[in-house]
A and B are shown apart, each in its own frame.
Chain A
Amino acid sequence: QKEVEQNSGPLSVPEGAIASLNCTYSDRGSQSFFWYRQYSGKSPELIMFIYSNGDKEDGRFTAQLNKASQYVSLLIRDSQPSDSATYLCAPLGTGFQKLVFGTGTRLLVSP
């Protein structure tokens, strides 16, 4: 079983729609969860983090966490073509400070 699983996509949504990106993880001890966005040829950039069960909203982004189900998701409302990128889920592993990245979901937002 992979430590972090994401659907590689591409996930195609029309402009203005809600994009839903999902992630499951295997380390039950993970307490912190980060979402990174990576444009092609660029470095990953942090867009959201969440520590507690439930929802956390920041602008057009909402992160959702369910530790019992070992599931974390990212919703992007009013998707824009500029949101087209790969989204990486990264739980913080137990023990040492180690982010374990999923393989990422490629999102395509069409005008």
Chain B
Amino acid sequence: DTAVSQTPKYLVTQMGNDKSIKCEQNLGHDTMYWYKQDSKKFLKIMFSYNNKELIINETVPNRFSPKSPDKAHLNLHINSLELGDSAVYFCASSRGYNSPLHFGNGTRLTVT
């Protein structure tokens, strides 16, 4: 049983395109996140939603737009992709305050 699942696992696209990454969790958690891990392996938070409400929005270009249709899903849409967007994007979820994060398997995005 996959707890946090992301699709697609790999995404190769050209500059200027628009793409989406989907995430679903079956853990019953209230909070979901998007993290970006760059080529230097630094893992940085992008967004966090709690019960479909945006609670964390780090300094991320507005080309990135998260959407949470319900508390089990958090999708990430990226417009006008740039070379610098190439990274691994991890979705995660947690039960709430002081609870650890459970990560999905990641989506490796390559922009050419």
Contact = CB atoms under 8 A, between A and B. Distances in A.
A71 B12 CA distance: 40
Interface residues of B, number: 25
A43 to B, nearest CB: 4
Contacts of A88: 43
Query: Per DSSP, are chain A's interface residues mostly helix, strand or loop, or mixed?
Result: loop
A43 B43 contact: no
B45 A97 contact: no
A88 B35 CA distance: 14
Contacts of B100: 34, 46, 49
A60 interface: no
B41 A86 contact: yes
A34 B43 CA distance: 14
A53 interface: no
A11 interface: no
A100 B90 CA distance: 14
A104 B41 contact: yes
A88 B90 CA distance: 15
A97 B105 contact: no
A51 B45 contact: no
A31 B98 contact: yes
Nearest to B103: A43
A33 to B, nearest CB: 10
Contacts of A49: 100
Interface of A: 31-32, 34, 38, 42-46, 49, 51, 86, 88, 92, 96-101, 103-104
In the A-B complex, the 5 residue pairs with the smallest Cβ-Cβ separation, listed nearest first, are A43-B103, A101-B43, A46-B100, A32-B98, A103-B42
22 contacts: A38-B41, A42-B106, A43-B104, A43-B105, A43-B106, A44-B43, A44-B90, A44-B103, A45-B103, A51-B98, A88-B43, A96-B48, A96-B56, A97-B55, A97-B99, A98-B45, A98-B56, A99-B101, A101-B44, A103-B41, A103-B42, A104-B41
